[in-house]
Amino acid sequence: MLKLLSSTSSRVHCLTTPTPSLRIKQEPNSLFYALGRLIGLTQRSPKNSFFRACFCSDSSDGSGSGSGSQPAVEVDEKGAESQSGSDSKASSAIVSTYPKPEDYLTVLALPLPHRPLFPGFYMPIYVKDPKLLAALQESRKRQAPYAGAFLLKDEPGTESSTSSETEKTVYDIKGKELFNRLHEVGTLAQISSIQGDQVILIGHRRLRITEMVSEDPLTVKVDHLKEKPYNKDDDVIKATSFEVISTLRDVLKTSSLWRDHVQTYSQHIGDFNFPRLADFGAAISGANKLQCQQVLEELDVHKRLQLTLELVKKEMEISKIQESIAKAIEEKISGEQRRYLLNEQLKAIKKELGLETDDKTALSAKFKERLEPNREKCPPHVLQVIEEELTKLQLLEASSSEFNVTRNYLDWLTVLPWGNYSDENFDVIRAQTILDEDHYGLTDVKERILEFIAVGKLRGTSQGKIICLSGPPGVGKTSIGRSIARALNRKFFRFSVGGLSDVAEIKGHRRTYIGAMPGKMVQCLKNVGTANPLVLIDEIDKLGRGHAGDPASALLELLDPEQNANFLDHYLDVPIDLSKVLFVCTANVVDNIPNPLLDRMEVIAIAGYIADEKMHIARDYLEKTAQETCGVKPEQVEVTDAALLGLIENYCREAGVRNLQKHIEKIYRKIALRLVREGSSNEFVISGEVVQPAEAKAEVDETDQHAAPNETATESSVQTSDQPKDPKDATEAEKLKETETTKAVEKVLVDASNLADFVGKPVFHAERIYDQTPVGVVMGLAWTAMGGSTLYIETTEVEQGEGKGALHVTGQLGDVMKESAQIAHTLARTILLEKEPDNPFFANTKLHLHVPAGATPKDGPSAGCTMITSMLSLAMKMPVRKDLAMTGEVTLTGKILPIGGVKEKTIAARRSEVKTIIFPSANKRDYDELAPNVREGLDVHFVDDYSQIFNLAFDNNTGN
């Protein structure tokens, strides 16, 4: 009689067979004796064991071993009252197995989602289908407690390793679909017990599905399978089984889980044979379900043993890896614990000996030591705060959050350079030299810096100022700041406020916030270590404004010379003296800076560079930098003035020189590539020496034999000749070798003719569209963020008719220019009425005014006089004089208003080869401040009224 070993729901049950006839003889030569030797490795502990499956004694399947099945099975079930309760009185039930299991040829099909059931093993499954559960209970009541357990195939397109179907999902599949998803080979399973929806199955023998009988619940016809006959005395089978047992022994040394399996197996096995050994190894291994199904389907005993051997070998490797991982982690943890223990002991010993104080005392000593050098210079209110915070630090627990806040606060307070100033250099001559070395031109900026130094020298001390450098990109605003710091011998700190939207970046966070930090100025003072650095605030015209406040307003206190002597940072919460700091701000467009902030700064405009200045900058600065960057020697390349001029006029017309620098670097990179290619094709460089190919060397040697005495020896002859004994001769030989190496590569010449080979086709073409301006076309001057430019204003008539006088404007004009066009149209009618009273042109003609480059938006108050001249030229059929450009806004009474961007517009006129320029009289002072090389060769007229422009534009037509 078999007894059911009940355990907790988390454990798998096994059957025992204590009948005397089935006891195993402990013979040294038997196979089971070898397996039984494994048990000595551990004591059985069933309470702590977790079984994947355990062997059942009544699992005979008619194999060659000749063991038969019992006619009946008695099952002692603890807790049987919780089953379907037809007979709740009995605490045990006897389940008849008559007829024999092999007589069942039609069985219910149970799908197994995770692993196949092997003969002789328990497996609990959950049945969610009510019809199938009822059929199983009915079979058990009819004393026919058998069903077929078949592994479910994976869904098409999914991998078996990732398939995770639950029993609930399994039983959603029914009928023919379920039949097609089942593996053909399964196991005849006895229904041991049914508790709720949990069914415990015991495997008996292998089955093969032949056909489907009914669909719901799925019932199938089966054939009972038997192992192929085998010879129990076959040496190969014996050897394979012994190897399986040997591998099991090795695994047992590392895996306690396997020890529990083998203990239960050896204590409760009935008739031991080779097929059961193969099933046992496969059933308890961690292999995937397809590999286990392969073992289940294999009827050849030798092949089944081989498959099982592969699985247990893999388990052996996994166990070794697991053991090594566990050992490494254990060593690491034990090492850290040991180190921690020793450190604690060391602290205790040092404390007892008085060699070390606690953390709070050490921190206080560190802060006091850091403050000591600047204690006399430190303001009294700051010293008072530091002392209070040090006292507070001693009273706080080291583990509290307030302790960390106070420690960080003291760290910032004591690290700042209170009253520590760097020695400034007030040498004006030296400053002039440094500024000239770094930048060409920029007279206004250099003059302002020299004034600042001169005032500092006379007063004996320097006062901080706020200077704003405004101008197009690439004119050197940021690099000017570095040069000023070098000239004054001040520390330099730069931070950009472009896009800054958080006030805390400038004013700092409150200390109560997590991760609070001071603002940029406090960080600056900490980094530079002096209280009088030069601080460059970049892109001040691009300040953002977000939900965290208005940074432009936060900068008011920082950049106000009257307020920044007591600048208050939110984090430090003590006043800081920033009056000695020299602030230099940069901006592209001053109009974008808020007026209250702009009012606190001295604006120095940098208009840009004309072609002559760009030539000097390219020769003296950019070209040298490009040569060093690309590793090209000056004697290896020559860039002509014509090439540089073509580069400036046709590729780099913007006001700055950043784009010019990029193009020069591009030229030198291509030159470097050409030099390397030519050098690689002519010479081989090995460990610093030039070695020519053997054939060339032989030819050169031959030539040297017939060379004239005064001819210079070639590289190969220098190498093949004996080394000179005299050191002077050796030096001359090295110089000769170096000279010849340089001569091996031709000098690269960059001229206007081959400039396109280095930088591509020209980007810009001449802005001057007309050699002779036609009727209705006048050249105007405009200011852009990239500098100045010339643009034509064109007027033509659309149609004529009585009373059809009107004006249509195009060219992406802004509101200001549209209003200027209306004013110009009205004033032009008035002027034409004065000059030609009988000409009804404006009254009867619809005009179309266009400003070319329609894709470029244009706006600004300086195109009025140009528009009037264009309309009058069309009305009177008179072209304006050649090489004339004008700018200025006009009123309805004909008065000319001043404009901005005089230098940029003058530079644009020179670039377009304009000789005559008309400016408003109010701009005469701006023009007189321009450098002589900018004004050279220009005929400039300053006007107050449009009548003067009319005379200049039309009365001298004979000079065209």
326 Cβ neighbours under 8 A, 6+ residues apart: none
CA-CA-CA-CA torsion sign (780, 781, 784, 789): positive
**Neighbouring residues of 478: CB distance < 8 A, sequence distance ≥ 6:** 494, 536, 538, 586
Task: Clarify whether 873 is annotated catalytic.
Answer: no
Mark out the alpha helices in 354-474 (DSSP H runs).
359-371, 380-395, 401-415, 428-438, 443-459
215 is written with which tokens? 């669909």
**CB-based burial label for 339 (10 Å; 0-12, 13-18, 19+):** exposed
Active-site annotation holds for 862: yes
* Surface-to-core class of residue 603, CB atoms within 10 Å of its CB (0-12 exposed, 13-18 middle, 19+ buried): middle
586 known ligand binder: no
- Return d(Cα 900, Cα 923) in angstroms, integer: 8
Q: Which residues contact 931 (CB under 8 A, 6 or more apart)?
A: 441, 443
Query: 186 among the known binding-site residues?
Result: no
Show the CA angle centred on residue 50, arms to residues 49 and 54, nearest 5°.
Answer: 100
Residues 60, 364, 789, 862: which is the catalytic one?
A: 862
Q: Is 251 exposed, middle or buried (0-12, 13-18, 19+ CB in 10 A)?
A: buried
Was 761 annotated as part of a binding site? no
Query: Which of these is catalytic: 491, 507, 903, 905?
Result: 905
405 burial via Cβ count (<10 Å: 0-12, 13-18, 19+): middle
Residue found under tokens 């007892």: 352
The strand pairing partners of 336, in sequence order, are none
476 is in an annotated binding site: yes
Query: With contact defined as beta carbons under 8 Å apart, do 562 and 568 qualify?
Result: no
**Annotated binding residue at 741?**
no
Q: Using alpha carbons, select from 453, 570, 438 the residue that is nearest to residue 502.
A: 570
Q: String of b and e for 254-274 (b: at least 16 CB within 10 Å)?
A: bbebbbbbbbbbbebbbbbbb
- Any long-range contacts for 395-403 (C-beta under 8 Å, 24+ apart)? 396/360, 398/359, 398/360
Work out the angle at residue 845's Cα, subtended by the Cα atoms of residues 840 and 851, and round it to the nearest 5 degrees: 125
Closest CA to 14 of 118, 122, 93: 122
Residues facing 749 on adjacent strands: 638
237: nearest Cα among 145, 301, 143, 144: 301
Q: What is the rounded distance in angstroms from the CA atom of residue 257 to the CA atom of residue 238?
A: 26
How far is 740 from 331, CA to CA, in rounded Å? 66
Question: Nearest Cα to 500, choosing from 560, 464, 553, 567?
Answer: 553
Q: Is 308 annotated as a binding residue?
A: no
Strand partners, 939: 916
- What 485-488 contacts at long range (C-beta under 8 Å, 24+ apart), as own/partner pairs, is 485/533, 485/534, 486/434, 486/438, 487/425, 487/430, 487/431, 487/434, 487/435, 487/449, 487/453, 488/424, 488/425, 488/431, 488/453, 488/462, 488/534, 488/582
The reply, when asked if residue 519 is annotated as ligand binding, is no
Token pair for residue 332? 């690491």
d(CA 377, CA 173): 87
Q: Is 475 annotated as a binding residue?
A: yes
Q: How far is CA 552 from CA 443, 538, 578, 667, in A?
A: 30, 13, 18, 42
Alpha-carbon gap, residue 560 to 563, rounded angstroms: 5
DSSP E strands in 155-270: the ranges are 185-195, 198-214, 219-224
CB atoms within 10 A of CB 461: 12
Peptide bond into 217 cis (omega under 30): yes
3-state helix vs strand vs coil in the chain, percent to 5: 45, 15, 35
List residues forming the annotated binding site: 471-478
| Known binding positions for ATP | 471-478
User: Annotated catalytic sites, by residue?
Assistant: 862, 905
